[in-house]
Amino acid sequence: MGYEFSDDFRGKVVIVTGGARGIGREIALAFASYGAKVAICDLNEEALKESAQDIEKSGGESLFVIANVVDDKDVQSVIDKVVDKWGRVDILVNNAGITRDNLLLRMKEEDWDAVLAVNLKGIFLMTRSVAKVMVKQRSGKIINIASVVGVMGNVGQANYSASKGGVIAFTKTVAKELASRGINVNAVAPGFIKTKMTEVLSEEVKKRLMDNIPLRRLGEPRDVANACLFLASSLADYITGQTILVDGGMV
């Protein structure tokens, strides 16, 4: 057997949450460019439609579902629609995430709850639903998008870093539970990536960040997508429960 993996994704069924824009959109396009069938779900209907069209343009089949990952009924409808259309789910990328930054002493309870709900409960609900399908198939790859701040902490992000640290711990546990069923579960922890989420940072903050990145640049969504392709490919069949940091050497 050679080391070629680009054919691994032809005809494979992929779900990407939060796939309407940013990193999720790039991940969806990356799988589609290798011939995968890609379903994206998101709250943002307009961007969702546009991204689904771009997936088709890049040569893949697409499906978009308006869904809130915090709502179990929505989550189930995503899985049902994908299975109705394509009969299976090979790869799930749990990417949907939000920030509501503030210093601990000023952090509102609703901002804590919102971030923990989308970033952590959303991953639990999606993973639980998809796992039922993957267990029957006896195969599957699940990739959770965490963050370096879940490893190192960050001022102003008590809610976000707690949620992302939770994602890393969840990944380790679910990997152990599902390994005997042929399902690999890993996480990717991006550093600072150029998207709408980080666009709001001031030039001063960006400069300070850059000083702490040995590779001396912010990451691109593509850098994160590349790690997802690797983890979802046969090259990573013997890797489970791990977190790959895609952070330019920051941590």
Region from 3-11, 173-181, 190-198, 225-233 binding ligand NAI, contact rule CB under 6 A: 190-198
Site string for ligand NAI, 6-45 (x = CB under 6 A): -----------xx-xxxxx-----------------xxx-
Region from 1-9, 32-40, 68-76, 175-183 binding ligand NAI, contact rule CB under 6 A: 68-76
* Helices and strands, counts by H and E, the chain: 10, 7
Both structure tokens of 158: 């008590």
Q: Cβ 35 to ligand NAI, closest distance in Å? A: 24
Q: Cβ 74 to ligand NAI, closest distance in Å? A: 8
Contact predicate 20/48, CB 8 Å: yes
Binding residue for ligand NAI, selected from 30, 178, 193, 232, defined by CB under 6 A: 193
Closer to ligand NAI by CB, 140 or 248: give it: 248
For position 143 contacting ligand NAI by CB under 6 A, the verdict is no
Per the annotation, the verdict on 3 as an active-site residue is: no
Q: What's the CA angle centered on 148, arms 55 and 25, to 5 degrees?
A: 10
For position 118 contacting ligand NAI by CB under 6 A, the verdict is yes
For position 209 contacting ligand NAI by CB under 6 A, the verdict is no
List the end-to-end C-alpha distance of the chain, in Å, as a whole number. Answer: 35
Contact predicate 135/84, CB 8 Å: no
Binding residue for ligand NAI, selected from 29, 39, 82, 145, defined by CB under 6 A: 145
Q: Smallest Cα–Cα separation from 88: which of 51, 133, 49, 129?
A: 133
**In the chain, where do the E strands start and end?**
13-17, 37-42, 61-66, 91-94, 140-145, 183-190, 243-246
Q: Helices 158-178 and 122-137, interaxial angle, to 10°?
A: 10
**Residue ranges binding ligand NAI (CB under 6 A):** 17-18, 20-24, 42-44, 68-70, 95-98, 118, 122, 145, 147, 190, 192-193, 195-198
